[in-house]
A = this chain, B = another copy of it.
């Protein structure tokens, strides 16, 4: 198979541009024209390479989860439950207020509510967030078996609280609230976590 006419775009770069557009405007707020313009990809190529809006969105979410959510996996890998929580809260605030990315979190900005025909989009995003919550809960269960957390702590509630706070920070960041302000809120959440696990 020899090579035909060369592409005018790089597939990975184009995908990253798509991430930013969906991140800022959400799934339904993004049109194919928005995408082709930002990605530097013409319409037929977009369909040939990425396969439609819904398929592209799935690839975008995967790319985002792998790159822009790496901090969450790093936090879970911390040695103690408290360090897990601290690092997640702190790095989350940073992640939702980066200068070179849209404010907030794609998982929420992508579509917290959708039209009836796109309910699967918001449901998919919600399910993936809850999967992340479960990862934290499992991590805290492990901490309990290790004696790192008191035996009577509720790992699910702790994980939920962390996710709740991170989601609130994402909403706040998207509203334009600066990083320093969110850090003060994260510090309060950190104190709460500390108070819950030291008895």
Contact = CB atoms under 8 A, between A and B. Distances in A.
B26 A113 contact: yes
Contacts of A196: 188, 191
A169 B165 CA distance: 9
A163 interface: yes
Interface string A148-184: 0000001011101101111111011011110001101
A130 interface: yes
Contacts of A191: 192, 195-196
B164 A169 contact: yes
Task: Determine the main DSSP class of A at the interface with B.
Answer: helix
A118 interface: yes
A112 B126 CA distance: 15
Interface of A: 24-26, 28-31, 34, 104, 108-116, 118, 122, 126-127, 129-130, 154, 156-158, 160-161, 163-169, 171-172, 174-177, 181-182, 184-185, 187-189, 191-193, 195-196
